[in-house]
Amino acid sequence: MLTRLNILCTKQKRTMSVRFSHIMLVPCIILYNFWSSVAIETIEFKRERLGITNITNYTSEIPSDTQDISFPHNEISLVPWQYFTNLNLSSLERIDLGYNRITKLDDNWLSGLSSLDDLDLNDNNLKVIRNRTFSGIINLTHLRLDGNRIESIQCGAFQDLINLQRLKLYKNQLPTIHECIFNVEAQPTSLKMWLDDNPWVCNEELSWVIMGRGIWITLRDNHGDVGECGSPCNLAGCYLTALTTDDLKSTPKYG
């Protein structure tokens, strides 16, 4: 059984004529953009953007038992509402849409994908995570939102993600996050969060992170720190792991 399909687009674009209707039992499909750096016979490829902008052109005939779909390093700016749900991919475990140009995600856009375990949305142009963006994917364990432009996460945004174990939020524009984004009572014993490279306003609104640290929250680092205060002046440069709730009480709330 074929277990992995890499669709590579060369200068001649010969391989893009593959039709998914002629392929059976492929758990993993990788759509990547390449061009041949020298002769094709050398089997040496160099990645280059060719500009996949419309995801619907490439997934309309994906086998229903596909487990992994990847569209990294393209120009996708919009994913139609419930597009993956409507493909009836009941076995889909992973979606990779990293390094695209997605600016907005509709509410319930992945609702019904009960097997989805890993969702990668890193390095897009997202600014706001709405409260119903990730509804209906209760078995998700790994969510990457790093490298976006996220400024706010609404209450309830991750409440359906009761099995979430790893949440990557580093390299965004978050000044604060609220406990209400989670369903704390239903969260697993330990949630690993990556929070570095954000302009954190370290005040009482972040107290829940400090109190939950070591109990149900584990702060992880990506670049040698675990989240650094951008303000106020007396706490600027301090790491979240070094703070106590008393340190945050004397500073005003954000906004």
Q: Is residue 112 included in any domain, yes or no?
A: yes
Q: pLDDT-derived band of residue 246, with 50, 70 and 90 as boundaries?
A: very high
Residue 115 lies in a domain: yes
Q: pLDDT of 20-72, one tens digit each? A: 333 334 445 454 444 333 222 221 222 344 456 777 766 566 777 788 888 88
Domain extent for 156: 4-188
Three-state DSSP class for 64? coil
Phi and psi angles of residue 189, each rounded to the nearest 5 degrees, phi first: -55, -40
**Do you know the residue count of the chain?**
255
Q: Is residue 42 part of a domain?
A: yes
Counting the structural domains of the chain, the total is: 1
Residue 56 CB-density burial (10 A; 0-12 exposed, 13-18 middle, 19+ buried)? exposed
**Parallel, antiparallel, or unpaired: how do β-strands 166-168 and 200-201 relate?**
unpaired
Is 204 domain-assigned? no
**Does residue 217 sit within a domain?**
no
- The secondary structure of residue 252, as a DSSP letter, is P
Query: Does 15 fall in a domain?
Result: yes
For 136-155, give the DSSP string: T-TT--EEE-TTS---EE-T
- Residue 199 is encoded by which pair of tokens? 């302009």
pLDDT digits (tens, 9 = 90+) for 97-126: 999 999 999 999 998 899 999 999 999 999
pTM assigned to the model: 0.81
- For 77, residues 6+ apart whose C-beta sits below 8 A from its C-beta are 53, 100, 101, 102, 103, 125
What is the chain's Cα-based Rg?
20
Out of 47-51, 93-97, 152-156, 204-208, which region has the weakest mean confidence (pLDDT)? 47-51
- pLDDT, position 38: 27
- The domain that holds 88 is classified in CATH as 3.80.10.10
